[in-house]
Amino acid sequence: MTETQSGQAYVIWGRRPVMEALESGRDFNRVVVARGGADPRIVAMARKLRVPVAEVERAALDRIVREAGGGTHQGVAAYVSPINYVELDDLVRRARDAGEELFVSVLDGIEDPQNLGSIIRTADAAGAHGVVIPSRRGSQVSPAVAAASAGAAAYTPVARVTNLTRGIEQLKQAGAWVVGTAPDADRSLFEADLTGPIAVVVGNEGKGMSRLVGEACDFTVSIPMAGRVGSLNAGVAWAVTAFEIVRQRAANQAQLADGRQLPEPRP
């Protein structure tokens, strides 16, 4: 029998996601590889970790991944334990233990698994301490999300909350400024002070942030658009915002290193 999530077999596929999951120490049921087309590094790692490896015909592997809702598997899939969601306090503690200012992404109703996977991948790349999602009204971390994250789901903590506005208040109490992303915001992303502890809210792909979540934000920012399209994909909008935060933090560190005075904090 396989591990299950929401009543369905929990399967990840693709060379990188499977290797990343093996390296992260995640619990495995077994690894399944295509006969004659297995990546020897994955097989060697699985056997080193004493994870059972099953060699099957490619048609059988195609069927396993198709039934899990997947696509291109690159000759490997794995049955793994469901993701262990964390608490919001765990993200705050992760930042504190690392001696860093809190940096998280808060997702308000992201529905597309590809978007969620992309956001998790960017969070890992930008050094964010995690991603916050609602336990309902949005995509959960599924095999498709794990694949879209290119393995980052194995390393990026995801906190699931029952009430997003209460979660935002909890982040504020932890010292974070909460900034929402909205196409109609008066303040440009590149004009805003995005230094210090921060939580970035990314809204639903079609509707944006809900009214209550928007009202809970300290301020909102927009991404200047030169073309005729009025907004960006949610995952891209988060990536642009995340790396502007990275840039501003690096600029502050450079000023401190040079002995220059930092700008006044945001109002």
pLDDT digits (tens, 9 = 90+) for 22-71: 988 777 888 999 998 888 999 999 999 988 999 999 999 999 888 877 77
Put simply, whether the predicted model's pTM sits higher than 0.85 gets the answer: no
Question: What average pLDDT does the segment 156-173 reach?
Answer: 95
Beta bridge partner(s), residue 159: 86, 132
6: tokens are 């929401």
Percent of the chain with pLDDT over 70: 90
The average pLDDT across 118-140 equals 93
| Residue pair 167/155 in contact by the 8 Å Cβ criterion | no
- How does DSSP classify residue 153? G
Please identify which residue in the block is written with the tokens 């490997």. Answer: 76
Question: Confidence band (pLDDT; 50, 70, 90) for 94?
Answer: very high
Cβ proximity of 90 and 157 under 8 Å:
yes
Q: What is the pLDDT of residue 1?
A: 27
Domains, the chain, ordered by start:
4-80 (3.30.1330.30), 88-257 (3.40.1280.10)
- pLDDT classification of 228: cutoffs 50, 70, 90: low
